[in-house]
Amino acid sequence: MPFVLKKMYAEKKQRAFLYLIKELGYTQREAQRLIAKGRLLINGEAMTKTTYEIEGEFEFISFEPATRDLNPHAVYDEFVIFDKPSGVLIHPQNRNTAYSLIDELKYQFGMDANIAHRIDQETSGLVLCARNKKSERDIKMMFQERDMQKKYLAMVHGEFKESIVVDAPLLRAEDESAMVRMVVKVDDKGKPSKTSFKPLKYFPHANTTLVECSPHTGRQHQIRVHLFHVKHPIVGDPIYGQDEIDIIKFLDKEITPQYRIEKSGASRLLLHASELEFELYNKKYHIKSKVDFEKICFESMCNI
């Protein structure tokens, strides 16, 4: 586990955040944030007030990154790119998460390295990570200003015949039904959302199409919802295009891999972040994944 409970001792009474700064090397902002998140404990009880004073024994939950030897796709002075496998989280969901991409990044490149954007756990592909605080700010600003061009590959149900642009607003709101965790849908009250789609190859034996997806905005589940909206849901999508009872089973981790293949067409979501194109510090980059996504698709659709 990357989260380790450590016993510590403060010889004299002092503000807890000052102790973390002096003894563990955190910045004031980091130390106060960790305390507020409940990472400092007295007699097993979390102390969340950043002004709290400590003396004597206490415990601190430390993040110590682990590795599974995931080699980076590309390494530069200011940033690094990983080609994330499907199933790997970007950040830990909780303290019991055994491994996430942030583990690998910080293990290999130090605690100042940080992930600059997110893709879903089941989406595979390129993830851009900053190697220091300055490049993190600049890269996140680049995403915010939409100066990053991204392309994805998706295997979708049916024959996707023509290139189209889907310009449909997306609303993230709680559903009144039991599918309360499925929160994104096309709705006129939602935020502007736009995606371009181009069919690359149709596979008649499986009745699926490999599609290139270019999002112009960055909404949660944007590509998945837009493809579902035009009646070409992504193969392996366990939410969009599925019955409510099966969605709940998936979210509660009560669905077998074979049942998922029977219902959705694949054992994983067949969506892959394939290209990143951007300019950083007056230099242009166009980075492509080397993964054979078509091969992965048919391995994941093993019963077709």
Active site residue ranges: 120
DSSP SS3 for 136: helix
End-to-end, the C-alpha distance of the chain in Å comes to 37
- Helical H segments across 37-132, by residue range: 101-109
Q: Check: CB of residue 68 under 8 Å from CB of residue 99.
A: yes
Angle in degrees, CA 279, 280, 286, rounded to 5: 45
The total number of residues shown for the chain amounts to 304
Structure tokens at 254: 């009560």
Angle in degrees, CA 300, 276, 157, rounded to 5: 35
**Alpha-carbon distances, residue 279 vs 61, 118, 151, 216, 284 (angstroms):** 38, 19, 16, 17, 4
